[in-house]
Amino acid sequence: MPTTRQALLALLCEQPGQDISGQALADRLGVSRAAVHKAAAALQKQGYAIQAVSGRGYRLTAESDCLTREELELLWPHRPCRVLPQVDSTNREMRRMILEGASHGTLVVAGAQTEGRGRAGRVFVSPPGGVYLSLLLCPQPDAPGDVTAVTAAAAVAAARAVETLCGRQLRIKWVNDLYWQGRKVGGILTEGLLDMESGRPSHVVVGIGLNLRTPAGLLADAPEAGSLFPDGAAPCGRARLAAAIAGELLRWDGSPAWWEEYRARSLVLGHWLTVTEPTGHTYTALAQAIDDEGRLVVQLPGGGVRALRSGEVRTRPAPRPGESF
């Protein structure tokens, strides 16, 4: 049962930037106008930019983005969630929550991370302005896919949600990087806890970071990094975006259609690449396909073909005639 404050926030969020009369809000919430006034004042105190103008009513300014538990609970009503203004890492927080008994579909969202982590032990710079979330999946023993498939599904889920809510089309750089206009605006780190008896993951923590309104200056130490709305003018808030991404991912069913969408959004297919394998071996190759196990199939200039499970790739111009590799 939502509180009056949550229910008021939900109504105002339906029509951001528009005045709604105190009486209309009171009628819809089934409370007195005084109760609406009290709830609006409490939301204002929390940081929501709610304007109350006598004779016109209440309005949530279009830019309002406070990332509160109230808001996330409204958007993530059927499963547990936690909101933190700042945390070391949402993936780590989720691991702590697993020890406390967290269940499938638990969502953690943070406004900033002090020790955000990326793949291969890298740091994921996580200043305020981004959205940082971890979703817990507890796969059934017969569930489809492995960690690579979940990561790919998460990339598709993030791209879908950003397209729907922000109107921007993300591209996916194999395996887990999210790009917009040639810059990395997000990434995914999937971590699993193994069930020792079955050898399958009992808990999968999917961590997703997106630079939503992160000012460019805060990303300066990462030359390829970018932000979707560095001027702050994002059309949707972090809680809504986080819930939409997580909601899309919970719908993942392991079907081939997800791989189709992953390929359609790929930044690398059909391009020449510099490939660095985990061993450090680096070479030039043409990205031919991504198979249903998430392997990147590349063709070597000399004619051989390799199917990569992991590694780093960078797009590069086609090799010139006579160029050595």
Site residues, ligand BTN (CB under 6 A)? 89-91, 113, 116-119, 122, 124, 132-134, 176-177, 187-189, 207-209
* Min dist. Cβ of residue 155 to ligand BTN (A): 10
Alpha-carbon span 68 to 192, nearest angstrom: 28
Alpha-carbon span 248 to 120, nearest angstrom: 26
The residue written with tokens 């702050």 in the block is 232
DSSP string across 202-230: EEEEEEEEE-SS--GGGGTTSTTB--S-T
Q: Pick the closer one to ligand BTN by CB: 94 or 275.
A: 94
* Min dist. Cβ of residue 184 to ligand BTN (A): 7
Phi, psi of 68 (to 5 degrees): -115, 165
Q: Pick the closer one to ligand BTN by CB: 93 or 261.
A: 93
Residue number closest to ligand BTN, CB atom: 187
Whether the CB-CB separation of 5 and 43 falls below 8 Å is answered with yes
* Min dist. Cβ of residue 108 to ligand BTN (A): 9
* Min dist. Cβ of residue 113 to ligand BTN (A): 6
* Min dist. Cβ of residue 263 to ligand BTN (A): 20
Q: Pick the closer one to ligand BTN by CB: 59 or 92.
A: 92
> Looking at the chain, how many residues does it have?
325
Q: Pick the closer one to ligand BTN by CB: 58 or 132.
A: 132
Token output for 9: 């926030």
* Min dist. Cβ of residue 52 to ligand BTN (A): 36
Phi, psi of 157 (to 5 degrees): -60, -45
Q: Pick the closer one to ligand BTN by CB: 73 or 177.
A: 177
Alpha-carbon span 296 to 313, nearest angstrom: 10
Alpha-carbon span 260 to 255, nearest angstrom: 9
Helices in 251-322 by DSSP H: which ranges? Answer: 256-264
Q: Pick the closer one to ligand BTN by CB: 71 or 312.
A: 312
